[in-house]
Structures are given as structure tokens and as C-alpha cells.
Amino acid sequence: MIARTPYADLPGGLLDGLARAGLDPEDLYTMVVRAFDEDLPDGGRDVTSSAMPPMGLGVGDVGAREPGVVAGLGVAELVFVYAMGAGVEVSGRVAEGSRVSAGDVVMTVSGLVQDLLTAERTALNFASHLSGVATATSHWVAALEGTSARVLDTRKTLPTYRALQKYAVRCGGGVNHRFSLSDRALVKDNHVLTAGGVVPAYELVRRANPGLRVEVEVTDLDQLRDLLDAGCTEVLLDNMDAATMTEAVRITAGRATLEASGGLTLDRAREVAATGVDFISVGALTHSVKVFDLGLDLR
């Protein structure tokens, strides 16, 4: 049976580290509890590991099996501490956002072998997914190196995983867009249709939310000109080709920040950045990411 360590008994240093990373430790704790409820419903036991002969204490190395950027190791540590309580020791954890090579050990966990085996997959599920997001983001960052464009994430995140996925984007060197529907306004095509045009939609949102950042999506240069005349300072260029984006940058002449969006792929990153846009938003960083291959090997 795993320890299921109460939140109040978790190490303060671990919780403080998660908070400094911009994560909510209590929310993460709840996610970890629910993850174990999936694996061990109704307080059940790991029927495979518990059938093994007594294994005593052991050491396991969490290692990278491919090159990339790691994230979520602090969450993995939280998983082991929750499952193993005071009987676990975590050491050698590399810094979040570190670039690693295949074969590198990113953290070491010591404790009862049976508990290590029970907690292993839950810890790796968090860290592998988040490292996948960080690694994918790092590829975009590398592709944009030397340009003025930055890669943005979107709200196309797994439900309840938004804070974690956006954290992983930061670990990979990317920039977070809005976190919710209330911290920033983004006027999209259906809002424009409802309001009767880009400028009426922009002005309605701005009047309803004084002081809030308002970005408006446009699909052609006429909409862009109208918005600039109305004083809009953040514009999303939706599904435009490179020539049109280049003209949009010329027309804007620094009066607004421009974000390119819509089906953008890594092989087009330099082409899009060369137009002069400020940001490139990529939903695939979070909605279509390939998990990073991490594994735990007992010594």
C-alpha cells in the first residue's frame, strides 16, 4: 500500500520550488491524488508488484532515452513523495528546462522497490508529457533564433492541464498567451460576425473591459487598416500567406504587435518570422505533442 502522504506533511522545499515555478502546489497535489485513484481505485493495491518476493530497498534512475528538454521533474518528485512518504529520497534532479542527451540521468529515487514500481508510471506520465511539450517548444525557439519573432502557446490545452502545459512551454523557451477567457480578450471571427465587424467588436470589448488587453483576429488587410485606425494595438493575422503578412507588417509600421496564427508548421517557421511579425502562435505545442521518452531503471 502506498503512503498517500497528506499535503500538510509534504516537504516545504518541494512545495516552494513548485510555487516559484508558477505552479499551484495544492492543485498539483490534487492532480497527483486523482492520478493514483486511477491506478489504485478504492484504495486498492498494485497486484503485480505486491506479488513479487520481498524486494527491500532499492535505487532507480530516471533517464532520458532521447535528446530533448526536460520539464515536470518537480511534479514527478511530488508523485514519489506522495506515494512513498518519508521513505523516499530524491537526488540528482536536473534543473527544469535543461537540455539532455540520450542516456542522461535526470533524477534518482531511492526507497522501497515495491513502492518505486507502483509510483513509476504515474511519475513518468507527468514528466514525459511535459518534457514533450518543452522539447517541441525548444524546436520552434531554435528555428526562430536570430529573428525577432517569439513562439506563443494557445488555449488548445488538455482540460485541467493548462497550467502544467504552459509551464512546460516556458521551460522550452516559449511565451505564454492568455491563460483563460478572463485575463485577456481575444476577438475572433464569430465575435466579429456577431458584432457586425472587427471595429464594432473591438470597441464593444474594450468598453466592457477598460484597461484589459484586447487582441483582434483579422483575415485581410482591410480589417487590419480599420483596426489600426481605431487604435487597436494587438492584432492576430489568421491564415495569411507570407506575402500578405509582410504587407501587414509594412502597413502596421510598429503601431501594433502582430501575431501570426493558423496551421503553422515548423518547416515554415523561418519564412513566417522573416515577414517581421512579433509572435507565432502554435497550438500543436500542447494539443499534438509527442511524449518525451523517459524511463526508470532499477540499479
For this structure, is 96 an active site residue? no
* pLDDT confidence bin for 133, thresholds 50/70/90: very high
- State yes or no: pLDDT of 102 exceeds 80: yes
Contacts for 179-184 with beta carbons within 8 Å, 24 or more apart?
180/155, 184/212, 184/213, 184/214, 184/215
- Across residues 177-187, what is the average pLDDT? 96
Residues 199-219: b if buried by 16+ CB within 10 A, e if exposed: bebbbbbbeeeeeeebbbbbb
For this structure, is 184 an active site residue? no
Give the model's pLDDT for residue 55: 87
Inter-CA distances, 221 with 33, 95, 228, 248, 252, Å = 50, 44, 11, 7, 10
Give tens-digit pLDDT for 202-228: 999 999 999 999 999 999 999 999 999
For this structure, is 290 an active site residue? no
Ordered DSSP codes for 85-125:
GGG-EEE-PPPTT-EE-TT-EEEEEEEEHHHHHHHHHHHHH
- Across residues 94-110, what is the average pLDDT? 98
DSSP 8-state symbol, 175: B
Catalytic residue (one of 77, 217, 259, 278): 217
Residue ranges and CATH numbers for the domains of the chain are 7-135+290-298 (3.90.1170.20), 142-287 (3.20.20.70)
- State yes or no: pLDDT of 1 exceeds 80: no
- State yes or no: pLDDT of 282 exceeds 90: yes
- State yes or no: pLDDT of 18 exceeds 90: yes
DSSP 8-state symbol, 206: H
Catalytic residue (one of 121, 213, 250, 290): 121
- Across residues 55-68, what is the average pLDDT? 96
Give tens-digit pLDDT for 155-169: 999 999 999 999 999
Amino acid identity for residue 97 in this structure: G
* 0.75 surpassed by pTM: yes
Catalytic residue (one of 188, 213, 250, 290): 188
**Residue from 242, 195, 187 nearest 218 by CA:** 187
For this structure, is 120 an active site residue? no
**Residue from 217, 226, 279 nearest 251 by CA:** 226
Cell representation of residue 260: 501570426
Give the model's pLDDT for residue 263: 86
Who wins on pLDDT, 52 or 252?
Answer: 252
**What distance in Å separates the CA atoms of residue 151 and residue 158, rounded to the nearest whole number?**
19
Q: Residue 98: which residues within 8 A CB-CB, separation 6 or more?
A: 69, 70, 106
Catalytic residue (one of 46, 89, 203, 238): 238
Catalytic residue (one of 65, 155, 156, 184): 156
- Across residues 253-266, what is the average pLDDT? 96
- Across residues 18-44, what is the average pLDDT? 95
Give the model's pLDDT for residue 91: 98
* pLDDT confidence bin for 50, thresholds 50/70/90: confident
Cell representation of residue 276: 517581421
For this structure, is 255 an active site residue? no
- Across residues 184-190, what is the average pLDDT? 96
Q: Average pLDDT, whole number, for the chain?
A: 96
